């Protein structure tokens, strides 16, 4: 909850933190992920987004804003 960080930086940091916690390589944000995230506040990372093999079909993130 760093007020100096932009929303985008916070999302990237959250994905990086989750990757560390779950021992995954960090997903690569492709243009399709960025567009989808901008439109719907969520995106799905598939094997194409990872350098290493992943043991699941996809990783989906969804940002839910609190008022």
Tens digits of per-residue pLDDT, 15-49?
999 999 999 999 999 999 999 999 999 999 999 99
Does a structural domain hold residue 50?
yes
Lowest mean pLDDT among 3-12, 23-32, 51-60: 3-12
**Cβ pair 46, 67 in contact under 8 A:** no
Q: Angle at CA 26, nearest 5°, toward 25 and 30?
A: 130
Residue corresponding to tokens 């987004």: 49
Q: Is residue 46 part of a domain?
A: yes
Assigned domain for 67 exists: no
Assess if residue 38 is contained within a domain.
yes
Which among 8, 6, 3 is positioned nearest to 38, based on CA atoms? 8
Count of structural domains within the chain = 1
- Give pLDDT, residue 35: 94
What confidence score (pLDDT) does residue 59 get?
Answer: 95
Would 22 be classed as within a structural domain? yes
Tell me if 30 is assigned to some domain: yes
2 within domain boundaries: no
38 lies in which domain range?
Answer: 7-62
Return the SS3 of 10.
Answer: helix
How confident is the model at residue 13, as a pLDDT? Answer: 93
Q: What is the pTM of this model?
A: 0.84
């Amino acid at each position: 909850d760093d007020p100096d960080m932009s929303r985008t930086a916070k999302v990237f940091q959250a994905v990086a933190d989750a990757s560390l916690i779950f021992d995954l390589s960090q997903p690569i944000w492709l243009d399709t992920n960025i567009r989808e995230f901008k439109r719907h506040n969520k995106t799905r990372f598939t094997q194409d987004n990872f350098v290493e093999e992943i043991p699941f079909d996809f990783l989906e993130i969804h940002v839910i804003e609190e008022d």
